[in-house]
Amino acid sequence: MTKRRVVITGLGVVTPLGDILDTFWSRLLAGKCGICTLTRFDVSAYPVRIGGEIHPEDFHYDDIIGHKEAKRLDRFALYGMAAGIRSVMDSGIDFSTLDRDRCGVIVGSGIGGIEEMEIQYDKMLAKGVGRVSPFTVPRLMVNAAAGNLSIQFGLSGPVSATATACATSGNAIADAFHSITYGESDVMLAGGAEAAMTKLGLAAFCALRALSTHNNDAPEKASRPFSKDRDGFVMSEGAGVVVLEEFELAKKRGARIYGEVVACGATGDACHITAPDENGTGAAKAMNKALAEARINPDQVHYINAHGTSTELGDLAETRAVHKTFGAAAKHVPVSSTKGALGHSLGASGGIELAITCLAMHHGVLPPTINYDIPDPLCDLDYVPNQPRQANVQYAMSNSFGFGGHNTSILIRKA
């Protein structure tokens, strides 16, 4: 069977640095940081009081999602809806001219509607079983963002939601890519959404001892990917959704093409439910799969957007995985983590970071790894420290790794 070409024609993000694409991109390149002291609820009793909140002044959804509809959504689905609608607007695609049975959505979440669950549980305890909202299940279910986006645009092709922790978006985009590649669909919205910054969500990650605890008084310095003084990730929230389109369809309508998805590699570590394989074996296999499917050599890749969470073990494992995969070329390929600026938005991170990878390719500028202040001799790659860099990117890779040992690597090329 002849494989069909798949291109990315639309990008939509909701992040702590904003949700308007140009503003978000300029802030990212300027080295701005969206991590702050949390304000959504009282965090005085928490060992971690910082995170990547979505600030109301930087979340513009009133013009694209009605107030009544928004009230029926948990925040994660609201973010996913906003990012999905923005991606469609950015692509300029008109679904009324297409066969909607061949257009679909795969947008997942690592956690789903945890805030809705907390709200309704508290209400049940305080006021009784009969006061639980009938919207509870439609709000909290992990497929709420995907289902609502399909309804928004009347897309009746493949519609589903992935849930592979922090690899969620990567798996969603890979599944959407394969759906188009093998002729099941022509257009797919794909990515992830997350809003786990809640009382229980933050407490649970604090209990896991995975979060940075050393910079409550300087939140903008807390996330330090690959820096020797890193001490854990900074929890964040948001959404990232891209429009994937069959190449001939995109070309026929004169669409702007950010890049072509040429391969997706996915593997499992099969070693621990939260910790990565310390040697990066599973991550390396995912990257190798992508290179093999694309039939390119490691030295043809000009940029890697790393998972780069700012955890001691995770950053080292990813560095080792790059060495395993790229060999002698590892020291020459630029690798940056944008989680220094955005924090870690869990299941949404891969969608946001693929959008960033597309923008880097489109504009010829690599975003920096901010807060890279103390080189770690064990993390010895080119991490594009602290300043953006001009680059002619022909091939780029975006990595996402998740609890449970999930690894995804998406390879794109300049169209």
Point out the residues that are catalytic: 166, 307, 344
**C-alpha–C-alpha distance, residues 355 and 400, integer Å:** 13
Nearest 5°: phi and psi at 34? -95, 5
Q: Is 95 exposed, middle or buried (0-12, 13-18, 19+ CB in 10 A)?
A: middle
Q: Indicate the DSSP class of residue 131.
A: G
Tokens of 356: 């960033």
Strands 187-194 and 103-108, bridge-based pairing: parallel
Beta bridge mates, 294: none
Those residues whose C-beta lies under 8 Å from the C-beta of residue 301, and which sit 6 or more positions away, are 291, 326, 329, 333, 395, 396, 397, 411
Structure tokens, 355: 């959008």
* Chain CA centroid to CA 54, Å: 15
Rounded Cα distance, 350 and 305, in Å? 10
Residue 310, Cβ neighbours under 10 Å: how many? 27
- Nearest Cα to Cα of residue 263 among 298, 289, 299: 289
Q: At what angle do helices 144-153 and 75-91 cross, to 10 degrees?
A: 40
Residue with tokens 């695609």: 93
Residue with tokens 């188009």: 180
Could you give phi then psi for residue 183, rounded to 5 degrees? Answer: 85, 10
CA atoms within 13 A on the CB side of 201: 25
Rounded Cα distance between 249 and 87, Å, is 17
- Pairing of β 103-108 and β 159-160: parallel
Fill in the amino acid letter for 382. Answer: D
- Residue 292 and residue 263: Cα distance in Å, rounded? 8
Cβ neighbours of residue 118 closer than 8 Å, sequence gap 6 or more? 198, 199, 200
